[in-house]
Structure 1
Amino acid sequence: MHEKIIILDFGSQYTQLIARRVRELNVYCEIHPFNHLPEFTGDVKGIILSGSPYSVRQADAPQLDLTLFHEKYPVLGVCYGAQYLAQQAGGEVQPSTIREYGRANLGFIQHEDKLFKDIPAHSQVWMSHGDTIVTTPANFEITASTDTVRVAAYRVTGTDTYGIQFHPEVTHSTDGKQLLKNFLVDICGCSQEWTPDSFIEETVSELQQQLGNDKVVLGLSGGVDSSVAAMLLHRAIGKNLHCIFVDNGLLRKDEYASVLEQYKHLGLNIRGIDAKDRFLSQLAGIKDPELKRKAIGRVFIEVFDDAAHEVQDVVWLGQGTIYPDVIESVSVKGPSATIKSHHNVGGLPDFMKLKIVEPLKTLFKDEVRRVGRSLGLEDFILGRHPFPGPGLAIRILGEVTAEKVAILQEADSIYINNLKEAGLYDQVWQAGAIFLPVQSVGVMGDERTYENVICLRAVESLDGMTADWCHLPYQVLAKISNEIINKVKGINRVVYDISSKPPATIEWE
């Protein structure tokens, strides 16, 4: 078993970022909702309590039985977590007299404290809270302050319990990574041995034990997750892995042929299935995005099941599920009602009667790419932008038709190729064109037109949980717009989406 850090989530938007920072320091960690506690086994090295949108003063604020782990393990409370520890020990938390949000500097630091080792005076931190700790219990020692926040950090005397009012996980906290390293290494005693190579070695060994001589089928999409999952399974069980790549008619232009060609060089046992007509016929007349997803999911399972039955004695279904999918399947207040159905966590129908194997379910997207690189996958696969499971169906707002798909494929191809030619593709987390359900007036030559609108979307992100729109150069956008309007029949207007996530999502449906 790996040594690990447990992060207890009170619902903060930054919880996954804490986990990513811990992983970047080569320490394995897991996120668990505060109301779904894991077993605190011997491999646990420390606990981090996250922030929260709640106030500790609210009647319905998240509550936690601290006796399960307090003083048994090192504990770091972040923001809400720090306030909760202080309040539970008898301290007082009150609304801040001024809004404490944004950059601040630690005017006082107790440098002898292990948490602040190698952190310089006046270190910049990021505050994001509406409450503040007014008084601390007698055994709490204040270890850092700002001009406006007296209790910016504390330690419970004689213990390895710490609280910080700021967020070390965001890049605005310039020495946040050092602080987290101090907690993980100097306080928790973590060895920082969790690396891509160690993950591969242990995962392959576990897969060999789990699967034995059983056969596995896996649906390849051409994306990073399914490709890395396939390589791990292939390394573990070789030809007992059977990969199936389904053309649902909703892929990018020429993607079916190019992906099959790319996979030829990886030694994978792969079969391609052309099911375009079957998918498009089932989408006829459907406008609701969730109904589109369900129709695509249902047909995919039918097509995939037919193909899987042609492989004798299949026992397992391989999936490229990654950690954010798993986390999003359980919210802080219980199962989420807003999970998109194409995440398909545990979504296998009973009639398939296959067991599920998910070799990537503990990894974030950037970790999947690092593991893929260690496995020898080439950059043209690892660097591919994420692409939605339902494909272009959810980038065509409203009913999906073969004509709309063809138009969007052409526009999207022009968009992506221009990003690559301008050297911008690798700077973008995800880009794609969207077919809008509106028409607008235009003029081409001496004729009035009334044609369709394409929206371009490009975002920057680390893991897709939050995202900001990309500030693409105007001259590049102008070239893309001009080329789409001139070359794609049926389009007379191109717009650019400048919305961030949140409040908007990356995809439009």
Structure 2
Amino acid sequence: MIVILDFGSQYSELIARRIRETHVYSEVLSYRTTAAQLQQLQPKGIILSGGPNSVYDPGAPVCDPEIWNLGIPVLGVCYGMQLMVQQLGGKVEAAEKGEYGRAALHILDPTDLLTNLPDNSIMWMSHGDSVTELPAGFHPLAHTDNTPCAAIADPTRHLYGVQFHPEVAHSEAGAFLIRNFVYHICGCEPTWTTEAFIEEAIREVRARVGDKKVLLALSGGVDSSTLAFLLHRAIGDQLTCMFIDQGFMRKEEPQRLLRLFQEQFHIPVNYVDGQERFLKQLQGITDPEEKRKRIGAEFIRVFEEESQRLGPFEYLAQGTLYPDVIESANTNVDPVTGERIAVKIKSHHNVGGLPKNLRFKLVEPLRKLFKDEVRQLGQSLGLPEEIVRRHPFPGPGLAIRIIGEVTKERLEILRDADMIVRQEINRSGYYPKLWQAFAVLLPDVRSVGVMGDKRTYTYPVVLRLVTSEDGMTADWARVPYDLLATISNRIVNEVPGVNRVVYDITSKPPGTIEWE
């Protein structure tokens, strides 16, 4: 295992994902994790993440200095490198000129950490401070035109640092550097595989639930479907799947879900029609956080009611993933102060929206996995391609793709527009090339149009097509103009109440994939 100590970087989980791509398990822990605690975990290596602070800021986060004496290889990334330098007697100062974006890495020592890295590789920089004096025992491995110490090493103590971010896709040789650290320096072996995860997850689920019954919140997406297959393999008839139709699903999706699971997979599903009660919860509600929390709380209430009818159940299973947890800022909460290191972006209905008096014990075997890992898991478990490759769909469904109050009329408009988007994306062959493709309705905005020589004053629809590897970062998709034109023409001609279609060309960051 490789441990990542998180100093508040939005990329900490991306480091974990890059390590897992080498088939080595990684886990993100708080920077407050002590050397003694790390020693108990017996990791083969430690990575210190970047962070928003300067090491000389009052109250800047620091790690236990005994970590340097554990004999475990350490790699500091950006802030992590600067902290290592400062704690070991070097000097970090504000740079005369910050360095942000792409920079060529000029290699001085092509061994050890930088083995097989091409000289002048482009790396991604994001720092305003620089190392001006190295601690005793360190020497520079590489520099950029603006940063004399872009990579450093004390090979005797197995301590390394890089000023750039090797984990991001913009760093051309970043994957090679990570592999060097994981394999060459830490001596890890590629044992973190899908098959190994299945065995471990089944063992943990059986140990946790024993002979008790488990209720699964099934949505029909790749996450909950994969979880259903995994739990069915682990505990068989102890699993009860329940699908709650909250009224915010895509057109014809509830029927498709029931048909697939009951007729094709032979996994029984209890259907609950909750459309009216969920819609009532959102009457007059426009704030997206409040929408998510109300939907999450209502989900639990429905589960509790239905479980009494079907149960009793002690455990509730959810398809919570790592990005859900990260964006809800629940990974790095100090147990004493309750301080959150990362800034909360949005609450996920199955993370931030759960009530404190939850009656169930949660079973979340997927909460340490990224979306691409779940897809691999689903394939190994035998899920059909149409589910494994299905685009992510938010738990609150179309309720957070209507910007403003959710009503029946607005849901029908969005369902029809969304269906056209999916049909044309599939017809064009672009579906597998995209991370997500959907429509957003702006019902509180109206624009003037002309249809059939008559003036219209109706809603715009936003088209959102993005590419991504893991949902942590994303970019707008450069699809052919003809495809956009076809989608736009169909929506304005076939969906009553819409007279304008616009295309969102915002990346993540600074935006998010969803609008709410």
- Asked if Structure 1 and Structure 2 have the same fold, meaning a TM-score greater than 0.5 normalized by the shorter chain, the answer is yes
- The answer to whether the Cα contact below 8 Å between 1:244 and 1:271 also exists between their aligned partners in 2 is yes
SS at match of 1:163: strand
The 5 Å alignment of 1:346-425 reads 348-349=354-355, 353-425=359-431
- The answer to whether the Cα contact below 8 Å between 1:11 and 1:332 also exists between their aligned partners in 2 is no
Counterpart of 2:295 in structure 1 is 296
Higher mean displacement: 443-452 or 406-415: 443-452
Deviations 1:104-153 (A, max 9, x none): 33333313x32122223333322221111111123112222233322122
- The answer to whether the Cα contact below 8 Å between 1:220 and 1:244 also exists between their aligned partners in 2 is yes
Deviations 1:381-431 (A, max 9, x none): 111111111111111122211111111100110011111111111211122
SS at match of 1:372: helix
1:440 aligns with 2:437: no
Residue identity matched to 1:165 = Q
Deviations 1:260-300 (A, max 9, x none): 11223223231112222222233233223233223322332
Higher mean displacement: 328-337 or 149-158: 328-337
- The answer to whether the Cα contact below 8 Å between 2:297 and 2:354 also exists between their aligned partners in 1 is no
* TM-superposed deviation, 1:331: 4.5
* TM-superposed deviation, 1:259: 1.3
* TM-superposed deviation, 1:174: 2.2
Counterpart of 2:19 in structure 1 is 22
- The answer to whether the Cα contact below 8 Å between 1:35 and 1:332 also exists between their aligned partners in 2 is no
Counterpart of 1:180 in structure 2 is 178
Counterpart of 2:209 in structure 1 is 211
Counterpart of 1:235 in structure 2 is 233
- The answer to whether the Cα contact below 8 Å between 2:19 and 2:26 also exists between their aligned partners in 1 is yes
Where do 5+ consecutive residues of structure 2 fail to align?
A: none
Higher mean displacement: 246-255 or 336-345: 336-345
Deviations 1:308-334 (A, max 9, x none): 112233221111111223333144782
1:285 aligns with 2:276: no
* TM-superposed deviation, 1:69: 5.2
Q: Output the CA distance in 1 between the equivalents of 2:106 and 2:291.
A: 55
User: Given the superposition, is the C-alpha separation of residues 173 and 312 from structure 1 closer, same or farther in structure 2, using an over 3 Å criterion?
Assistant: closer
* TM-superposed deviation, 1:17: 1.6
Counterpart of 1:329 in structure 2 is 330
SS at match of 1:389: coil
Q: Output the CA distance in 1 between the equivalents of 2:324 and 2:385.
A: 24
1:88 aligns with 2:87: yes
- The answer to whether the Cα contact below 8 Å between 1:54 and 1:61 also exists between their aligned partners in 2 is yes
1:478 aligns with 2:503: no
- The answer to whether the Cα contact below 8 Å between 1:244 and 1:270 also exists between their aligned partners in 2 is yes
The 5 Å alignment of 1:36-435 reads 39-40=37-38, 41-68=40-67, 70-111=69-110, 113-264=111-262, 265-327=264-326, 328-331=329-332, 334-335=339-340, 338=344, 340-345=346-351, 348-349=354-355, 353-435=359-441
Q: Output the CA distance in 2 between the equivalents of 1:276 and 1:109.
A: 64
Higher mean displacement: 101-110 or 358-367: 101-110
User: Given the superposition, is the C-alpha separation of residues 180 and 444 from structure 1 closer, same or farther in structure 2, using an over 3 Å criterion?
Assistant: same
User: Given the superposition, is the C-alpha separation of residues 18 and 352 from structure 1 closer, same or farther in structure 2, using an over 3 Å criterion?
Assistant: closer
Deviations 1:439-459 (A, max 9, x none): 211111121111121111122
Q: Output the CA distance in 2 between the equivalents of 1:227 and 1:339.
A: 26
- The answer to whether the Cα contact below 8 Å between 1:71 and 1:159 also exists between their aligned partners in 2 is no
* TM-superposed deviation, 1:475: 0.9
- The answer to whether the Cα contact below 8 Å between 2:435 and 2:467 also exists between their aligned partners in 1 is yes
Counterpart of 2:30 in structure 1 is 33
Residue identity matched to 1:505 = T
Equivalent pairs counted in the alignment come to: 505
Q: Output the CA distance in 1 between the equivalents of 2:71 and 2:186.
A: 11
Of residues 486, 490, 494, the one that matches 1:487 is 494
- The answer to whether the Cα contact below 8 Å between 1:143 and 1:155 also exists between their aligned partners in 2 is yes
User: Given the superposition, is the C-alpha separation of residues 351 and 308 from structure 1 closer, same or farther in structure 2, using an over 3 Å criterion?
Assistant: farther
SS at match of 2:192: coil
SS at match of 1:47: strand
User: Given the superposition, is the C-alpha separation of residues 446 and 348 from structure 1 closer, same or farther in structure 2, using an over 3 Å criterion?
Assistant: closer
Residue identity matched to 2:424 = N
- The answer to whether the Cα contact below 8 Å between 1:239 and 1:269 also exists between their aligned partners in 2 is no
**Superposed CA RMSD:** 2.0
SS at match of 1:59: coil
User: Given the superposition, is the C-alpha separation of residues 305 and 89 from structure 1 closer, same or farther in structure 2, using an over 3 Å criterion?
Assistant: same
* TM-superposed deviation, 1:164: 1.4
TM-score normalised to structure 2 length: 0.93
- The answer to whether the Cα contact below 8 Å between 2:139 and 2:153 also exists between their aligned partners in 1 is yes
SS at match of 1:310: helix
Deviations 1:180-232 (A, max 9, x none): 11111121111110011110111112212222221100110111111111111
User: Given the superposition, is the C-alpha separation of residues 208 and 397 from structure 1 closer, same or farther in structure 2, using an over 3 Å criterion?
Assistant: same
Higher mean displacement: 135-144 or 278-287: 278-287
Q: Output the CA distance in 1 between the equivalents of 2:306 and 2:70.
A: 55
Q: Output the CA distance in 1 between the equivalents of 2:426 and 2:485.
A: 15
Residue identity matched to 2:80 = G
SS at match of 1:242: strand
User: Given the superposition, is the C-alpha separation of residues 374 and 127 from structure 1 closer, same or farther in structure 2, using an over 3 Å criterion?
Assistant: same
Q: Output the CA distance in 2 between the equivalents of 1:134 and 1:349.
A: 50
SS at match of 1:317: strand
User: Given the superposition, is the C-alpha separation of residues 172 and 69 from structure 1 closer, same or farther in structure 2, using an over 3 Å criterion?
Assistant: same
Residue identity matched to 2:412 = A
Of residues 7, 11, 33, the one that matches 1:10 is 7
Higher mean displacement: 190-199 or 281-290: 281-290
Q: Output the CA distance in 2 between the equivalents of 1:250 and 1:234.
A: 27
